């Protein structure tokens, strides 16, 4: 506390004043009050004191200021708050000033402003509620998001009242027509705090995350996820369209395959009759040659049609498995016999390594035969003359592994991931490309996946390829 005369001469300077300004009482008593005011504020201070001294209205016998500065003995200034009273004793007027150093308060206020500025700069909506679920504050994004309830966004407003205003004014789509029920559900979720959740607002989606504070209050973070929801919806629509297109394609392939099989079977039958001259001599060797060519071409075309029908049936989800105990070794032997002729024509050595006895695996026998036959046919097709194709089968614990290894042309590493895509061909030189649709491995992969198995391909260009089929128990 400081007491000064009307001419601003200091008369009293207590211990708290000594602590605040750094002066001893003896150093300032009798000195002008200007000693305690920074130079840049002295002129304004003099005017204020003069005006206050001339005030005759009894109701104006004091004032408070929180925006002044004091000057310490060491020359440093500090923010201060002062309560000043005027006392009159006869003809003498005195000023009593209670001055308080508010440096810490100003520093705290500055930090709070910085914090609020940082929170306002956050793109997500941030709001704080106390332990009684009453509104404390929200950043600019929160106020913008909840402008429908702007009149409710004042400190002390219950969260339930804010939610009710938002719901009743159409701010939440899922609350329309059931506003009270939605508010009750929302408050229940808030109290149970089961984790982040989504809300469809009037013009978008937000993801709300709540965090409890040590004092029982809570912080709510609402992130705008509208773009992500829209992108996800577009992705879902694209997937549905792709699925419909795939089904349409599979249905088309199945229909056209069925339509082609009947005339092809007739062509096969008639060409076989002609080449066998069952109803008499054709009269010229060229006729027999042409009949055999027609028969061979028709068989090849029927094989392609069957592949198309198989892949379309699988892609349409219409392929079902008939599971039974299957002797895989016997199936491999049958397939070896089927491709034996083609292998002999190219002088390719076929070897097998299969377990002794009659061990079985639970699988679809027809599918297993198709898998093995396709793999063996590919191995023979892409292995040059005098090459080698090895087939091995291992059974353990109901699991089955079938490995087909060849010394063929090999497959570039960057093409291997594409092998199981329908209609993909692996040949690098299209002038020497083999016959086929490129459906073989696609069918194998699809049949293996129907058994919950895996297909693995390892290959080195110029050295050969190893294909492994694993079928779980």
Region for 400 from its dihedrals, namely left if φ exceeds 0, alpha if ψ lies in -120 to 50, beta otherwise: beta
Angle between helices 285-315 and 440-450 in degrees, nearest 10 = 40
Higher local confidence (pLDDT), 319 or 217: 217
Whether 302 shows a pLDDT value over 80: the answer reads no
Whether 259 shows a pLDDT value over 90: the answer reads no
End-to-end CA distance of the chain: 92
**Do 451 and 358 fall within a single domain?**
yes
pLDDT of residue 415: 87
Give pLDDT tens digits for 385-421: 999 999 999 988 778 899 999 999 998 888 888 887 7
132 contacts 37 by C-beta, under 8 angstroms = no
Q: Which domain holds residue 415?
A: 323-471
**Do 268 and 134 fall within a single domain?**
no
Residue 71 forms part of a structural domain? yes
Whether 349 shows a pLDDT value over 50: the answer reads yes
**Do 216 and 338 fall within a single domain?**
no
**Do 458 and 339 fall within a single domain?**
yes
Q: What average pLDDT does range 98-124 have in this prediction? A: 84
Whether 160 shows a pLDDT value over 90: the answer reads yes
**Do 220 and 237 fall within a single domain?**
no
**Do 96 and 122 fall within a single domain?**
no
CATH number where 254 lies: 1.10.287.130
pLDDT of residue 424: 54
Percent of the chain past pLDDT 70, that is, above it, reads: 88
CATH number where 95 lies: 3.30.450.20
Higher local confidence (pLDDT), 50 or 353: 353
Whether 430 shows a pLDDT value over 60: the answer reads no
Read off φ and ψ for residue 160, nearest 5 degrees.
-60, -35
DSSP code at position 151 = G
**Averaged pLDDT of the chain:** 84
**Do 266 and 354 fall within a single domain?**
no
Query: How many whole angstroms separate alpha carbon 131 and alpha carbon 166?
Result: 22
Whether 446 shows a pLDDT value over 50: the answer reads yes
pLDDT of residue 257: 66
**Do 178 and 160 fall within a single domain?**
yes
Q: What average pLDDT does range 98-115 have in this prediction? A: 86
Whether 433 shows a pLDDT value over 60: the answer reads no
Whether 243 shows a pLDDT value over 90: the answer reads no
Distance set, CA 310 to CA 12, 154, 326, 392, 407 (Å): 107, 69, 21, 26, 28
pLDDT of residue 60: 65
Percent of the chain past pLDDT 90, that is, above it, reads: 34
**Do 153 and 213 fall within a single domain?**
yes
Burial class (CB in 10 A: 0-12, 13-18, 19+), 423: exposed
Final residue before a domain boundary, out of 315, 342, 375:
315
- DSSP secondary structure string for all residues of 392-432: EEEEETTEEEEEEEE-SS---GGGGGGTTSTT----S-GGG
> 208 pLDDT band (50/70/90 cuts)?
very high
> 428 pLDDT band (50/70/90 cuts)?
very low
Q: What average pLDDT does range 45-52 have in this prediction? A: 81
Final residue before a domain boundary, out of 291, 315, 339:
315
Higher local confidence (pLDDT), 83 or 285: 83
**Do 94 and 138 fall within a single domain?**
no
**Do 65 and 35 fall within a single domain?**
yes
Q: What average pLDDT does range 54-83 have in this prediction? A: 84
> 166 pLDDT band (50/70/90 cuts)?
very high
Residue 150 forms part of a structural domain? yes
> Highest mean pLDDT: which of 8-17, 257-266, 270-279?
8-17
Q: What average pLDDT does range 255-273 have in this prediction? A: 74
Tokens of 146: 């909840």
Q: What average pLDDT does range 172-189 have in this prediction? A: 92
Q: What average pLDDT does range 223-252 have in this prediction? A: 83
Residue 149 forms part of a structural domain? yes
**Chain centroid to CA 345:** 55
Whether 290 shows a pLDDT value over 80: the answer reads no
Query: How many whole angstroms separate alpha carbon 401 and alpha carbon 379?
Result: 17
DSSP code at position 384 = P
Residue 111 forms part of a structural domain? no
**Do 38 and 81 fall within a single domain?**
yes
Higher local confidence (pLDDT), 428 or 151: 151
Residue 366 forms part of a structural domain? yes
What is the total count of domains within the chain? 4
85 contacts 60 by C-beta, under 8 angstroms = no
Tokens of 178: 């059931």
pLDDT of residue 162: 94
Residue 85 forms part of a structural domain? yes
pLDDT of residue 250: 67
Whether 339 shows a pLDDT value over 90: the answer reads no
Final residue before a domain boundary, out of 260, 290, 315:
315
CATH number where 428 lies: 3.30.565.10
Residue 112 forms part of a structural domain? no
> 317 pLDDT band (50/70/90 cuts)?
low
Lowest-pLDDT range of 40-44, 195-199, 317-321, 353-357: 317-321
> 210 pLDDT band (50/70/90 cuts)?
very high
Burial class (CB in 10 A: 0-12, 13-18, 19+), 67: exposed
Neighbours of 53 (CB within 10 A): 13
70 contacts 77 by C-beta, under 8 angstroms = yes
3-state secondary structure of 306: helix
Query: How many whole angstroms separate alpha carbon 176 and alpha carbon 94?
Result: 69
- The β-bridge relationship of strands 399-406 and 388-396 is antiparallel
pLDDT of residue 16: 92
pLDDT of residue 310: 66
Query: How many whole angstroms separate alpha carbon 206 and alpha carbon 227?
Result: 10
pLDDT of residue 117: 82
pLDDT of residue 264: 73
Region for 429 from its dihedrals, namely left if φ exceeds 0, alpha if ψ lies in -120 to 50, beta otherwise: beta
């Amino acid at each position: 506390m400081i007491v000064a005369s009307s001419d601003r001469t200091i008369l009293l300077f207590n211990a708290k004043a000594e602590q605040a300004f750094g002066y001893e009482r003896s150093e300032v008593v009798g000195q002008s009050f200007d000693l305690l005011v920074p130079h840049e504020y002295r002129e304004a201070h003099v005017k204020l004191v003069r005006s206050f001294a001339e005030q005759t209205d009894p109701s104006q016998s004091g004032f408070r200021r929180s925006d002044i500065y004091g000057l310490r003995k060491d020359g440093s200034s500090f923010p201060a708050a002062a309560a000043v009273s005027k006392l009159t004793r006869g003809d003498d007027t005195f000023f009593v000033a209670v001055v308080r150093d508010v440096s810490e308060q100003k520093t705290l206020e500055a930090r709070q402003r910085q914090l609020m500025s940082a929170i306002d700069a956050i793109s997500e909506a941030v709001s704080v509620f106390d332990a009684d679920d009453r509104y404390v504050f929200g950043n600019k994004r929160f106020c913008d998001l909840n402008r429908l309830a702007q009149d409710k966004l004042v400190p002390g407003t219950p969260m339930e009242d804010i939610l009710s205003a938002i719901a009743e004014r159409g701010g939440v789509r899922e609350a329309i027509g059931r506003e009270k029920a939605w508010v009750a559900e929302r408050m229940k979720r808030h109290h149970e705090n089961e984790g982040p959740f989504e809300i469809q607002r009037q013009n978008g989606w937000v993801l709300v995350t709540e965090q409890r504070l040590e004092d029982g209050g809570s912080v709510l973070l609402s992130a705008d996820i509208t773009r992500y929801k829209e992108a996800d919806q577009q992705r879902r629509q694209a997937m549905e369209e792709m699925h419909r297109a795939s089904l349409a394609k599979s249905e088309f392939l199945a229909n056209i395959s069925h339509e082609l099989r009947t005339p092809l079977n007739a062509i096969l039958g008639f060409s076989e009759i002609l080449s066998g001259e069952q109803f008499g001599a054709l009269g010229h060797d060229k006729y027999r040659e042409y009949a055999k060519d027609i028969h061979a071409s028709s068989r090849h075309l029927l094989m392609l049609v069957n592949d198309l029908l198989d892949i379309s049936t699988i892609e349409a989800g219409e392929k079902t498995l008939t599971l039974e105990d299957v002797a895989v070794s016997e199936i491999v032997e049958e397939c070896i016999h089927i491709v034996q002729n083609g292998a002999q024509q190219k002088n390719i050595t076929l070897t097998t390594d299969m377990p002794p006895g009659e061990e079985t695996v639970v699988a679809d026998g027809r599918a297993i035969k198709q898998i093995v036959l396709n793999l063996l046919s590919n191995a023979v097709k892409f292995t040059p003359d005098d090459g080698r194709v090895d087939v091995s089968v291992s059974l353990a614990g109901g699991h089955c592994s079938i490995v087909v290894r060849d010394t063929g042309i090999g497959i570039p590493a960057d093409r291997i991931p594409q092998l199981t895509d329908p209609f993909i061909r692996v040949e690098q030189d299209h002038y020497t490309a083999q016959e086929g649709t490129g459906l073989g491995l696609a069918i194998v992969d699809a049949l293996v996946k129907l058994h919950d198995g895996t297909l693995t391909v390892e290959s080195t260009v110029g050295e050969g390829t190893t294909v492994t089929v694993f079928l779980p128990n």
